[in-house]
Amino acid sequence: MIKKNNPNELIIVDGVVGSGKTTFMNLLKEELSLPGFEEPVTDNPLLEKFYHDRKRYSFPLQVFFLNRRFRMLKDAGANLTASVMDRSIYGDVIFAKLLHEGGDMEKDEFDLYQELLVNMLDHIESPKLMIYLKCDVDTAISRIEKRGRDYEQIVERDYWERLNREYEAYFKEYSLSKLLVIDVKNYDLLENEKDRKEVMDLVKKAITES
């Protein structure tokens, strides 16, 4: 499904819910002086409804994300310089697959989602660098609880565990572009300057090699 087109200058940060994607993206923006594209969460009218009724809202939510991420990729591609993005269209299929296999998305809905995704991928380029923030379930849940979004607190642990397994499987096979895996449990990027420098050096090295 994923097409390996000519790479652009985009750096993508991906990972499970609670892995720290937005925080990491903002650090990259500051460190590398790059424009950023944040995941459409705060202005999403379907997200809270989805967490209360996944079966009803799984398909429209995934289409909402697909549409927004496609637009973000087009906007990023229009830039003459590099940019950084908080998750993108590539890893979004992980959620759709999880919802379908869990019985929250019908087969015809999942088939239509995949058709839309393939059509969009024909018109975008692969990223220069994909950064996967590897995050264990306990760490992710702790961060989710700490940030306190009400609709995330009602989600059962099994959902987060299944999501983590899907992410691990996806990035184990990822070959679309240069991939940098960072285990976030090993670093305190907000409070520890040494950790932050070490991770930023890893990113700069990966960019140079990509």
Annotated binding site: 15-23, 39, 51, 62, 87, 92, 143-147, 152
Q: What residue type is assigned to position 189 of the chain?
A: L
Residues of each annotated binding site for ATP: 15-23, 143-147
Which two three-digit tokens encode residue 23? 């925080």
Q: Which of 75, 86, 158, 183 is catalytic?
A: 86
Residues of each annotated binding site for substrate: 39, 51, 62, 87, 92, 152
Compute φ and ψ for 129, nearest 5 degrees.
Answer: -145, 135
The helix/strand/coil state of 44 is: coil
CA dihedral 145, 148, 149, 152 (to 10 degrees): 20
Which residue is associated with the tokens 């269209």?
A: 89
Q: Can you name the residues that pair with 8 across neighbouring β-strands?
A: none
Assess whether 150 carries a catalytic annotation: no
Q: By CB neighbour count within 10 A (0-12 exposed, 13-18 middle, 19+ buried), where does 14 fall?
A: buried
Terminal CA-CA length for the chain: 22
d(CA 133, CA 16): 8
By annotation, the residues acting in catalysis are 86
